[in-house]
Amino acid sequence: MSRAPRSHRKERIDRGIKVRSDDIFAIGSARDLAYVVAPRALAILALLCFPLLQGLVSRYWQTVMLNTLVIALLALSWDLLASVGLISLGQSLFFGLGAYAAGWLDAHLGVSPLLSIPLGTAAGALIATAVLFPLLRLRGHYFGLITFALPLLFMRIVETTGILGGTEGLSSLKPLPGRTTELYLATGAVLATLWAYRRMSATDYGLVFQAIRDNERSVMAAGFDIQWRKAQAVFLAALPAAFAGAFVTHRYQFVGMPAFALEYSVLPLTAAVVGGAGSFLGPVVGSFILVPLSEAMREFGSLRVVVYSLMLLLFTVGLPEGIFRFAARKYGQFERLAPIEEAPDGK
């Protein structure tokens, strides 16, 4: 049953244009420059133009776009946590805390959305960090487990004690000014988060996060307080997610127990895994694939969730690098078969 020895192997080589544009930006030709700039510039331009196309795009698909952006924010937040080695199975914790913070500010203090969204974001992120702080020592399974349990716990507490409106939720909150504002707010938040996270991961400050993921003990040995660093990472990750919560609260003018729903945990997780964790762009790409797909399947009811889970499974096992890295590799490299050279002693 032994396999015949192969005479060729696959090898990957950078495309010529990638090599040129990687190294010599200053004197690149227009084609080289376009090779580097076009993909990201086109994507950003498309995002920024979308709200202007309201005459062309039906209201339904605008809503889908908003949901996509919200999931993208949660997925970005997931990716930052993962880059510190904290695996979250409960992004809805951050989402729900942001949503309730904004809702409470509006319902009890009568603050306008202009204030309640930023304040709700900050308060939600702070509360989430405070709640997770004693639990940051946990690793691997256990952190996943705790983040899975926490949103459910909050949901039960709200249900049982009847605080914050209980099962009824807080309703008739103030709306956002209009569709265009909503779209630009969400788009701006996604782009700003993406930019900030990517910048941060290239600085020394961001490198410490990745080092904690790779080897906690050596980071401790280097004199960093990893507990405190992880808390900072949780706060930074909680910001966009809490913003998403506060935003959705004002968009629906309602906040209730569904803010802690499993959907807000599973969708971002799937988006991050499908798109490819670790690059911040992957999760955004993933949510732009996943959410419209799930809208298209809306009539199939909870079959959607089965499909997400199976996609999650397939990508975790079959394409762990995710779609984004895969596409980026195809864009920058090509593959060819190279003959295998025999070792000198014939082995």
Choose the stretch contacting other proteins; rule: CB under 8 A; options: 52-60, 70-78, 228-236, 266-274.
Answer: 266-274
Of 8, 320, 329, 331, the residue at the interface with other proteins (CB under 8 A) is 320
Among 41, 313, 337, 340, interactor with other proteins by CB under 8 A: 313
Among the candidate windows 27-35, 181-189, 243-251, 311-319, which touches other proteins by CB under 8 A?
311-319
CA quadruple 19, 21, 24, 29: dihedral sign: positive
183, 51 in Cβ contact below 8 A? yes
Q: Which of residues 132-161 bind other proteins (CB under 8 A)?
A: 134-135, 137-142, 144-146, 148-150, 152-153, 156-157, 159-160
The owner of tokens 């946590």 is 81
Q: Which of 70, 87, 183, 226 binds other proteins (CB under 8 A)?
A: 87
Residue from 312, 324, 325, 328 binding other proteins (CB under 8 A): 312
CB of 282 to other proteins, least distance (A): 14
Return the exposure string of 299-312: e unless at least 16 CB atoms fall within 10 Å of the residue's CB, then b.
eeeeebbebbeebb
273 touching other proteins, by CB under 8 A: yes
Smallest gap from residue 325 Cβ to other proteins (A): 15
Contact 89, 269 (CB under 8 A): yes
| Rounded alpha-carbon distances, angstroms, from residue 94 to 61, 151, 225, 234 | 26, 8, 24, 10
Q: Does 266 bind other proteins (CB under 8 A)?
A: yes
Q: What are 88's strand-pairing partners?
A: none
Between residues 196 and 307, which has the closer beta carbon with respect to other proteins?
307
Which of the 8 DSSP states describes residue 344?
A: T
Neighbours of 170 (CB within 10 A): 21
Q: Which residue has the tokens 């696959």?
A: 10
User: Between 67 and 270, whose beta carbon lies closer to other proteins?
Assistant: 270
Any contact of residue 316 with other proteins (CB under 8 A)? yes
CB contact at 8 A, 155 and 257:
yes
**Tokens at 260, concatenated:** 């802690």
List of residues contacting other proteins (CB under 8 A): 82, 87, 89, 134-135, 137-142, 144-146, 148-150, 152-153, 156-157, 159-160, 262, 266, 269, 273, 300-303, 305-306, 308-310, 312-313, 316-317, 320
